Amino acid sequence: MKKEEVCSRLRELLRDAVEKNAADALLLSGGLDTSILAAVSGNKGKTKKAFTVSMDINGTPAPDLEYAKKVAQRFLYEHHLIRIAENEALEKIPEVIKAVGSFDPALPNDLAIYVAIKEAKNLGIESVMTGDGADELFAGYSYMHELSHEELNKYIRNLSNSKTMYFSSNKLGDFLGVEIKQPYLDTEIVDFALDINPGLKVKEIEGRKYGKWILRRAYEKELDDVAWRAKEPIEFGSGTTKLRETIASKISDAEFAEKKRGYEMEFMNKEHLFFYEIYKEVVGEVPKAKGKANVCPLCKAELPENRFHCYICGFSYPIGKYLEETIILNQLQLP
């Protein structure tokens, strides 16, 4: 299928997926994935309210804010900007950890999502739409861009397995009583994405590699420069990444070393330790693995069936090990 045909079919499928997953509001980061949903939902479906979280960094608005405003205005959304101060963000961390049951270092990402969903809930909204799944299915993460086409295809196929595709927004939504709608995870979108040539997902143009190239190309007319924004984690775009520096400054090197010995546990960094101590307080002890289960090398919890990512502490095996062991597992499963 030629790229023009892929773009056309992708637009049709996303239009249908958005209609099937119509929600009361959209979590709008201003990045590619949610901006596409804004463009599609602006014409179809019920979504006409959008929520964007911003934590100013040293008085400077978070990077996502400018783009989110532009998208909301272009597609006539009632735009709710949620500005939070650093101290407010720190106060909410225990709530987020309790909701997700994890001390994953990626918690600043979850914090931004939590704040947006909670504000939506406070306004009586019962369902929100997210861009979950686009990065996984269309190669949005930078580490995917160095893989061969064969490796990328294999990796995405394994990620798309229902047992390995995991999003904290689902847990946050359940915790707050708000339904999460995820158009990119519609079965038809997933199946179509798996059949797309990996060369249409990652392309190098003028020395720069673009993930999700086919998505960008399909919606560049509606989104202009937003379509070609570089991929940024939610925590960076929302400004909550600043919390890392603040948290790390609260723990000295000596305290970090002492507490690692005391807990007999490995931590990726000082923020990881900080989140763990809150986890112990609001969730409890890490559930230990039983029997011959695969064990997380950091927190000693039981790893899920995919064996490559711990949902308790956030540990992940390097992608090379993932690909290597996936090949072995597939060989073992052959008749």
CATH number of the domain within which 98 lies: 3.40.50.620
326 & 209 share domain: no
Gap between the Cα atoms of 127 and 132, Å rounded:
15
Check residue 55 and give left, alpha or beta (phi > 0: left; psi -120 to 50: alpha). Answer: beta
Note every long-range contact of 223-230, with CB atoms under 8 Å and residues 24 or more positions apart, other chains counting: 223/32, 223/35, 223/36, 223/39, 223/71, 226/30, 226/32, 226/35, 226/67, 226/70, 226/71, 227/32, 227/35, 229/30, 229/31, 229/32, 229/67
For residue 57, the model assigns a pLDDT of 67
- Residue 115 in any domain: the answer is yes
For residue 332, the model assigns a pLDDT of 34
163 & 295 share domain: no
For residue 327, the model assigns a pLDDT of 45
76 & 154 share domain: yes
- Residue 20 in any domain: the answer is yes
- Residue 196 in any domain: the answer is yes
- Residue 210 in any domain: the answer is yes
pLDDT greater than 50 at residue 320: yes
**Confidence class of residue 335 from pLDDT cuts 50, 70 and 90?**
very low
For residue 198, the model assigns a pLDDT of 95
Identify the domain boundary among 238, 254, 270. Answer: 238
For residue 155, the model assigns a pLDDT of 86
- Residue 40 in any domain: the answer is yes
Give mean pLDDT, residues 281-289: 93
**Confidence class of residue 292 from pLDDT cuts 50, 70 and 90?**
low
For residue 322, the model assigns a pLDDT of 59
205 & 295 share domain: no
How many domains are contained in the chain? 2
- Residue 244 in any domain: the answer is no
- Residue 141 in any domain: the answer is yes
More confident residue, 264 or 147: 147
For residue 329, the model assigns a pLDDT of 42
For residue 330, the model assigns a pLDDT of 46
Identify the domain boundary among 218, 238, 258. Answer: 238
40 & 110 share domain: yes
Q: What percent of the chain has pLDDT over 70?
A: 89
Quick one: which H or E segment has residue 52? Answer: strand 49-54
219 & 332 share domain: no
190 & 60 share domain: yes
For residue 333, the model assigns a pLDDT of 40
Identify the domain boundary among 177, 211, 238. Answer: 238
Average pLDDT, the chain: 88
Winning range, highest mean pLDDT, from 106-120, 162-176, 289-303 = 106-120
For residue 325, the model assigns a pLDDT of 54
100 & 208 share domain: yes
- Lowest-confidence segment of 3-7, 64-68, 302-306 by average pLDDT: 302-306
Give every CB contact of residue 19 below 8 A, 6+ residues apart in sequence: 44, 45
- Residue 274 in any domain: the answer is no
pLDDT digits (tens, 9 = 90+) for 196-219: 999 999 999 988 999 999 999 999
Range of the domain at 324: 287-335
Tokens at 318, concatenated? 């390097």
230 & 101 share domain: yes
CB atoms within 10 A of CB 165: 17
Residue 304 contacts residue 287 (beta carbons within 8 Å)? no
187 & 330 share domain: no
For residue 230, the model assigns a pLDDT of 83
**Confidence class of residue 46 from pLDDT cuts 50, 70 and 90?**
low
54 & 161 share domain: yes
For residue 234, the model assigns a pLDDT of 77
189 & 328 share domain: no
